[in-house]
Amino acid sequence: MTKKYILGLDQGTTGTAALLFDEKWNHVSTGYQEVTQFYPNPGMVEHDGEELYQTLLVSTQRALQNIGATANEIKCIGIDNQGETIILWDKKTGKPVYPAIVWQDRRTAAEVDALNEQYEDFFYSRTGLKMDAYFGATKIRWVLKNVPEAKALLEQNRLAAGSLDTWFIWKLTGGREFVTDCVTASRTCLFNIEKLSWDKEILDLLEIPIEILPEIRENATMFGMTDPDEFFGVAVPITGSIVDQQAALLGQGCTKKGDIKTTYGTGCFMLMNTGETLQRNDYGLLSTLAIMHNGKPSFALDGGIYISGAAVKWLQKGLKIIKNSSEADKLALSIKDNGGVYFVPAFTGLAAPYWDSYARGMMIGLTAGCTEAHLARATLEAIAYQVKDIFDLVKENTGIAIKSMRADGGSTASKFLMQFQADLLGIPVEVPAVSETTGLGAAYLAALGMGEISSLEDMSNLWRRNVCYEPKMSDDERQFLLEKWHRAVERARDWADK
């Protein structure tokens, strides 16, 4: 039987999506499976590693069943992963020694503070990143120090550590391949962004043996064949792997210098492609890899927001004032303004440009006249304000005139948010025809690795727009709102003792 489909596996914080694309890049099917998040203590966020792996299989099976296809019809697989989430396991038994520690987890914040007092410039110069509990380095170190089984396995040379791409590929190949891709490796704070390899001095400083880390490969290459016992009885080549946000950058066709996209998910992430230029900055942004292909790196500037869609989820599951995210949109559109209410959703601190692990959420400007509509509107506005902060940093740092921004992720379904975002930025916001750009980017990489497409430029040419939001807000109104927002942020940052 002729193989027909390319599979993009998008493993995210709240769930796993399996996307099937046909030979003409039509998105023909999606399967989805939620992921359980565990909060063992304040500031801690974990996943069950075995459950994460099973969601890959369940979502794939659902995607195939939706169109009556079989795994024999899959040409190749591309995987994107959470990037900063890590897991350690026993290479002999294949069992995790501890739950996966999620990128949102803040348990190592105090340790990071101590490290940065002495080594902040050292970490940044080597990795392009600001050492933060967000990244995988101190998470791995925490497991090595606090989990007895990890210490014992280390002595027996049986311990493996990696980001989720490594775990998934290891499982899918029946334990034959212990690898990562270079972009995912660059998100650990253990990777030298100029030498494009693990940084031995950082590893020694953090007491992380290089032997427990995987081999690093390019993003579009052979990562291994699925083990038929693990993957529906068939051997399928895994030919693409990358972090979720860089996957979305490719899925949005942002392959040229100056192209910019923002993904609105649980968190919110803006990336600008800076081409072959490794753009260093002092503005709170991160310098990161965009993709490594044919021995040539492309770089990006990265600004992340910890809480965006998760804030809307809080309205639903925490406050219980909405039944689903679309209700937040309707409530926001039902009133003419925010009524002076501002919400800083710093549930787990603030990322760029503040990098404040101790800031906490704050809603300010409440009066007796406030309703659930004001809370919903303030929540959606907060997402847009945070994106505006990062956008301004990118413009200031690069000096590039940005004509439009491409947006993807679940929150782009909110017409209020997308219009308000365009109003704050003062440029058009474009939403693509294929909304699942992260899985699409992973599928593009798989196709590139298989020779189904020939170049990065092909990804740009395949991109299609669905809707464009044009800015309508006056400069005076924009400045008034932003001044109020920044006052609210400062209150949130002053709340906790540091």
- φ/ψ of 206, rounded to 5, equals -90, 0
Q: pLDDT band for 108, please (50, 70, 90 cuts).
A: very high
Inter-residue contact 187 to 197 (CB < 8 Å): no
Give the DSSP H or E segment for 78: strand 74-81
C-alpha distances in Å from residue 160, one per residue of 17, 49, 85, 136, 393:
26, 13, 14, 14, 38
Residues 6+ apart with CB under 8 A from 204: none
* Cα 312 to Cα 323: distance, rounded to the nearest angstrom: 10
| CATH code that applies to domain 5-244 | 3.30.420.40
Inter-residue contact 37 to 46 (CB < 8 Å): yes
pLDDT value for 449? 96
Q: What average pLDDT does the structure give for the chain?
A: 94
* Cα 264 to Cα 408: distance, rounded to the nearest angstrom: 6
pLDDT value for 305? 87
pLDDT value for 496? 66
Residue 440 confidence (pLDDT) above 60:
yes
Global pTM value: 0.86
Inter-residue contact 243 to 80 (CB < 8 Å): yes
3-state secondary structure of 16: strand
Report residue 200 CA to chain centroid gap. Answer: 26
Sequence ranges of the domains in the chain: 5-244
Region 272-296 average pLDDT: 86
Q: pLDDT band for 384, please (50, 70, 90 cuts).
A: very high
Give the DSSP H or E segment for 432: strand 429-432
Residues 6+ apart with CB under 8 A from 80: 8, 9, 10, 11, 241, 242, 243, 244, 246, 247, 438, 439, 441, 442
Residues 6+ apart with CB under 8 A from 95: 89
Q: Is the peptide bond before 214 cis (omega within 30 degrees of 0)?
A: no
- φ/ψ of 452, rounded to 5, equals -70, -30
- Residue 413, judged by CB atoms within 10 A of its CB (0-12, 13-18, 19+), counts as middle
